[in-house]
Amino acid sequence: MRTCLLLITLLISSLHTVHASVEENFIIRWTGQPQTVKKTLWLLRSEQAAIEQLIGHPYPRAVLPYWRAGKRTVWIVEEIGKEEPITFGIVVEDGRIRHMEVLHYRESRGWEIRDPRFLAQYRNARLNDGGLDREIDAISGATLSVNAATRMALLALWLDRQVQARQR
């Protein structure tokens, strides 16, 4: 029994390490710095209200970590697809999405959003009157995952705008 519990504990801790390394690798790849300092964006209530209007519900965090390299910001954000969270890595530079990637997909359906050809639709997207400046093609059977990806693209662009405004 003790051996079984020990194995389960080791398995769970190794899974956490795998998740952390995926995120860390993403951050290093897009900042170019192995020891990038994590920054923190504290959201005011008014900003939380603006996010709720932007993505259609409150975002569950008022303190958001991000990483910065020059004008580039890197965001790790999560959104529920149908029932489970989807973790996205989003890189914003000069007010445009430079790169977007699904880091962890936990849903049983809709995994097609992980395809780089689908995610390429977000490249160079900007905020435009509370939405993206382009239409994103849907994927049959993955509507909720596509909607989650679009909401997180909007969020990352909006957050980058706040960071840039605070730097001035």
43-86 residue pLDDT tens: 999 999 999 999 999 999 999 999 998 889 999 999 999 999 99
113-131 residue pLDDT tens: 999 999 999 999 999 988 9
Cβ neighbours for 8, distance < 8 A, ≥ 6 positions apart: none
Say if residue 5's pLDDT is above 50: no
Say if residue 87's pLDDT is above 60: yes
> How is the chain split into domains, by residue range?
2-167
User: How, if at all, do strands 72-80 and 85-93 pair?
Assistant: antiparallel
**Longest CA–CA separation in the chain, Å:** 59
d(CA 135, CA 37): 34
> DSSP labels for the chain?
-HHHHHHHHHHHHHHHHHHHHHHHHHHHHHH--TTPPEEEEEPPHHHHHHHHHHHSS--S-SEEEEEEETTEEEEEEEEESSSSEEEEEEEEETTEEEEEEEEEE--SS-GGGGSHHHHGGGTT--EETTEESS-----TT-HHHHHHHHHHHHHHHHHHHHHHHHH-
pLDDT bracket for residue 35 (50, 70, 90): low
pLDDT for position 16: 44
**pTM of this prediction?**
0.85
